[in-house]
Each structure stands twice: as C-alpha cells, then as structure tokens.
Amino acid sequence: MPISPNFTSVLQQDWDITFLQCYPNGYLKHTDLCNILQLTAGLHAELGGISFSDMQINHQAWVLSRMRVEIKRMPKWKDTITVKTWINSLENSRSTRCLEVYLGEEKIAGCETFWAVFNTKTRRPETLALPHEHFEKYATRATQLPFSKINFQQEMLLQKAAHTVKLSDLDIVNHANSVKYLEWCLDAVDLDLILNQKIDSFEMNYLKEVALNDTVALCSHTSDNEITFAVQKDDKVAFALLLHLK
C-alpha cells in the first residue's frame, strides 16, 4: 500500500476495553494489553507503508525479538485507552518501537519493543527492503528502564512437561504468536498475583521459532520479587520471560 495521507510519525489510537479482554476481576488481561500494543504498532506500520502486506512483496515480515512493559495500573472493562507510538530507531534489519498507554491524561503503562525483519521463505533476518525515511525517529523512550538480560541459566523448576503447539497458537507468519508464550507462562502464575495487580513490569525475549506440532516445556525460577520463565524446545530456550512483582 502507498503511504496513507493520514500518516504521521507519531500515532495515537484509541481502544475500547471489552469484557472479552478482561480477567474475572474486570481488569484488562496482560496478554490482551500486548495484543493492543502490537495492533497499534501494526496500524502505524500500515499507515506508513511498511506493513505485513507491503513487506510480503519481498517475502519479509516484522517479528518481535524483545518486549518490555512497565505498568502503573491496568485499565478495566469499558475504559477507553489511548496508545501512543513512535519509532526510536530503524536501521538495516532492526527497529526499536516505543509505546505509551494513557487513560485520560494519565500514563498508565510504557512499552519498548525490539523488532527484526524476517524473510518468511528463508526464515532468516535480512535488511528491510522498503523505504522508511518518511518515519521520523525519536530519541524519547517509553520505559524507565532499558531492556535487561534475562538470566535463564539459573536452576529452573519444571512447570509443564509438554505442550504441543496447535493451530490456535499460530499467527500469520506461521509460527507461535508472541503473546501465546506469555499466556502459557501466566497460566502458571499464582492467581492472586495477577488478579491483585502485583505485576509491576515484565520483559520478554524471543530466541527461537516454535512451529506447529513442536513440543515445548515450561520451566520457572522464583526469587523474592521476580519470577523467571523459560519455554524450552529440544532442551534449548526458545523464549524467556521475567516478571517483576510489586
């Protein structure tokens, strides 16, 4: 698609929170927060002519490599939130995108995402083939802390011995969707920590693809105020999650 006449380098998009997106306590699920953030990023890319459809001309797609989310508080059912997004950097095959979530004038969450350009035929990273100079890049960051190195080499306890990746886990790039990993992990977290909004921030690191019919294991390590998860495929870590608790 050509660049939209409505394109701007900073996008603000409103989203209504529906009951389908909420926990039993009426607050937005962390997985659905991530879905909203990715939908906003996707909309901005579409308006700017670098969407999935645009990139598929060159057999390319954006894939999420890292994501950090800092939460002041979660919105609830019937709230209307505004998500603001911009590109911090975009060079060769890599891009950092920032997002902020507002409820009225109050910033309630900040997110930074790190993306890679991925060839959907070779399944390898490569330089973005489309022009992107019309996207102004902004040095402003959306989170208080930068990405950290998640330590998944520490002793882990097996949480789930086997999960076979199903059709419902896949996305349009034909691998397990990034939010599915988070869902698998949060299902193993103490319910009270989630429903009482004890998650202060979380960080995700995507290391290897997981495809249909692959079998993965879920392991975790708990310290005073952190829970580390690792999703393993063939005894190698495909995904790591760090939950920081209040």
Could you tell me the residue ranges of all domains in the chain? Answer: 1-147, 148-246
Residues 83-113: tens digit of each pLDDT: 999 999 999 999 999 999 999 999 999 999 9
Residue 135 vs residues 49, 84, 104: alpha-carbon distances, Å: 10, 15, 26
Q: What's the chain's average pLDDT?
A: 95
Token readout for 171 is 């996305």
Give yes or no for residue 1 having a pLDDT over 80.
Answer: no
Residues 162-190: tens digit of each pLDDT: 899 999 999 999 999 999 999 999 999 99
The predicted structure's pLDDT at residue 180 = 97
The predicted structure's pLDDT at residue 2 = 83
The predicted structure's pLDDT at residue 37 = 98
Residues 24-71: tens digit of each pLDDT: 999 999 999 999 999 999 999 999 999 999 999 999 999 999 999 999
The predicted structure's pLDDT at residue 149 = 87
First to last CA, the chain: 44
The predicted structure's pLDDT at residue 34 = 98
DSSP single-letter state for residue 170 = B
DSSP single-letter state for residue 10 = S
Beta bridge partners of 220: 157, 229
Which distant-in-sequence residues (6+ apart) come within 8 Å of 5 by Cβ?
A: none
Specify the fold of 1-147: Thiol Ester Dehydrase; Chain A (3.10.129)
Phi-psi region at 116: left, alpha or beta (left = phi > 0; alpha = psi -120 to 50): beta
The predicted structure's pLDDT at residue 153 = 83
Residues 182-212: tens digit of each pLDDT: 999 999 999 999 999 999 999 999 999 999 9
Q: Among residues of the chain, what percentage have pLDDT more than 70?
A: 100
Asked whether 216 and 165 are in contact (CB, 8 A), the reply is yes
Asked whether 195 and 186 are in contact (CB, 8 A), the reply is no
Q: What number is the average pLDDT over the span 216-241?
A: 95
Is 148-246 the same fold as 1-147?
yes
Residue 143: pLDDT band (50, 70, 90) is very high
The predicted structure's pLDDT at residue 157 = 86
Specify the fold of 148-246: Thiol Ester Dehydrase; Chain A (3.10.129)
39's enclosing H/E stretch is: helix 30-47
